[in-house]
Amino acid sequence: MIIKPNIIEAVNSLVSAKQRSILALIGIVVGIGSVIAMVSVGSIVQKEALRQFMEMGTDVITISEEFSADNSKKNKKLNIQTAMAIPGHCPSIRVASPYASTYAQFKFKGKKDNIPALGVTPSFLTINKLNIDSGRFIHELDRHMFYCVIGQKVADKLAAQGVYDPVGTRIFFKEKQMTIIGKIREAPMGGMRPYEINEGIMLPLSTLQRLDREAAIRNIIARSRDNAARDQIESEVNAYLSQQNLNGMKVRTAEELIAQMQKQMKLFTLLLGTIGSISLVVGGIGVMNVMLVSVAERTKEIGIRRALGAREGDILFQFLVESVLLCIVGGFMGIAIGVGASWIISYYAKWQFAVSYNSIGLGVAVAVAVGVFFGIYPARQAARLSPILALRSD
């Protein structure tokens, strides 16, 4: 096939019909842009989530209270002793750390703010792979003491008020004075870590339960022993909890969460893929329209070319090259926009940005496919024109 003259021809034709070409391009750019953004963001999120899980380790388990719609069935509440006894009763669990949370007023030098607080046990630190920046974490002997460990957000707040070394500082939480005994280094979120770690403060679990009688233990974060199988962990924990008359607790392993997240990711991809496809169809119809007008305007030219010996296939190819080229130009613009959008999203979401070369390949492939699919009809119309009728047209 005669590619080079056709490409030159196509460029000339598209440039000479700038306005029309640009209008048709918008749909393609949006369509391919959203496809690229979705694929890139999807893969960035997935990598990010996996990275977080890798950091947290794959032996993390959560045991959480299910939000049951049936409120009449008053479940017995989990207490510290029952929770702490889990490793003793379930051989597949190495350590377990129950925690409770509340949300209340934080006050320092007259400045008030509402922040979350976690009631935790000493093992919470290592299970969540947290690091102490200064001071120490909650200790076994701190039971019932009004001590707290602060997260990055609270440290920032205090620093804004001139406290750069917060250990030893006294603050008020829920109208009770407490002493800061340590500061946790900011930990990346995700991978089953409770978000309150960075956002609020941590107190001994028993202290929190004295401050807030409503704050029940709804979650236990634990680690399994030697890659115990999910089914075994679940059956051991469930057996123990039902023996304690505790129902409606759900065991989740890291593995399961990864699988679930990947499933959600797929759904997300499918959804955005649908949006992208719709834009592409709209863009494709725009391209088809441009090509039909181009064919109509150049009927005489088609007649001349046929008189000079162009076969039906040559004319078909000429117009197909034109529509594919139009779509590829839109495709590259869409790729640039899609990659740019995913960079911006990653920047604000603090994800590690990465260009997915697969998505660029996909963008080009989709552009070519749209060009061929929506260009074939106009190109066939051009090719099937009777040479003499085309030549006689004006």
Give 1's Cβ-side CA count (13 Å radius): 12
Residue 148's SS3 state is strand
Q: Return d(Cα 221, Cα 94) in angstroms, integer.
A: 11
Q: Return d(Cα 159, Cα 165) in angstroms, integer.
A: 8
Q: Are 221 and 99 in contact (CB under 8 A)?
A: yes
Residues 10-29 binding other proteins (CB under 8 A) are 12-13, 16
Instruction: In angstroms, give the least distance from the CB of 293 to other proteins.
Output: 17
Instruction: In angstroms, give the least distance from the CB of 5 to other proteins.
Output: 5
Instruction: In angstroms, give the least distance from the CB of 21 to other proteins.
Output: 15
Residue 3 binding other proteins, by CB under 8 A: no
Instruction: In angstroms, give the least distance from the CB of 309 to other proteins.
Output: 2
Map residues 260-299 to x or -, x wherever contact with other proteins holds by CB under 8 A.
----------------------------------------
Residue 4 binding other proteins, by CB under 8 A: yes
Residue 236 binding other proteins, by CB under 8 A: no
- Residue closer to other proteins, measured from CB, 4 or 74: 4
- List the beta strands (DSSP E) in the chain: 60-65, 93-108, 111-120, 132-135, 147-150, 170-173, 176-184, 201-204, 217-224, 249-253
Bridging pattern class, strands 111-120 and 201-204:
parallel
Residue 380 binding other proteins, by CB under 8 A: no
Both structure tokens of 291: 């090509």
CA 233 from chain centre, in angstroms, equals 29
- Residue closer to other proteins, measured from CB, 344 or 388: 388
Residue 309 binding other proteins, by CB under 8 A: yes
Total count of residues recorded for the chain? 394
Residue 312 binding other proteins, by CB under 8 A: yes
Binding stretches for other proteins (CB under 8 A): 2, 4-5, 12-13, 16, 300-301, 304-312, 314, 386-388, 391
